[in-house]
Structure 1
């Protein structure tokens, strides 16, 4: 409801913007993949269509919600700290400190910034995210990491 009147008002929810972005990225990806040969285009087009469908679902969900306001506030200090943490992770990764330790520390910091409480819980979530991302990208997809100074840490 808008202030001072009984009429509902539509203000785009963040889901709408994320959905529109996913649809645009999916559309662009499908357009790029259409130029691939028949054997190579199947996966990129399937992924692009998936992004378009998920984006459309988010837009529909956001359009159904009637919100008075959609606050999106992030502390400047938190944003700066998150940016510096991400930059430190990139530097650590490219400086040969391996993948696991920098990624684990980065996840710890992000979880703390997001307000997750309980050190055991934070450590467990950070370890799980680190392990799953390692297994998915490094082991599963074969993403090559920069050379490490400490190969026993990965």
Structure 2
């Protein structure tokens, strides 16, 4: 369940109260693959070495504003994103490290060769998130990941 104190919810119209009675319960906002929900296929794919899931300490709850996975390498990440796109499912790589960005190269500085940062950036993919993520989308994600 999403903690309503940290969820990113806005009222549907200007001036509507943010009082507890007007705020959604939050369960329907959870990404459907979070632990304890429909996510057991992720555990089996992780055990098979196809991906790595986020590590969430026991005392924390996932706020579900995004869900990422780490794939083994850039080639597999690219293949995974292309496979989803072929099924009309949009997923993107998550970020470009600051030291690699145009502005970061102009004004930034690094210590070391940034190997781990670069490798993590190459492996990271953000899975799609939407309210009421349809089952055919979750099935498509499962099929592409299992085939990778």
Give TM class, smaller chain. under 0.3
Higher helix fraction: Structure 1 or Structure 2?
Answer: 1
Q: Give the structure, 1 or 2, with the largest relative contact order (CA under 8 Å, sep 6 or more).
A: 2
Which one has a bigger Cα radius of gyration? 1
Counting strand residues as a fraction of each chain, which structure ranks higher? 2
**TM-score when scaled to structure 2?**
0.24
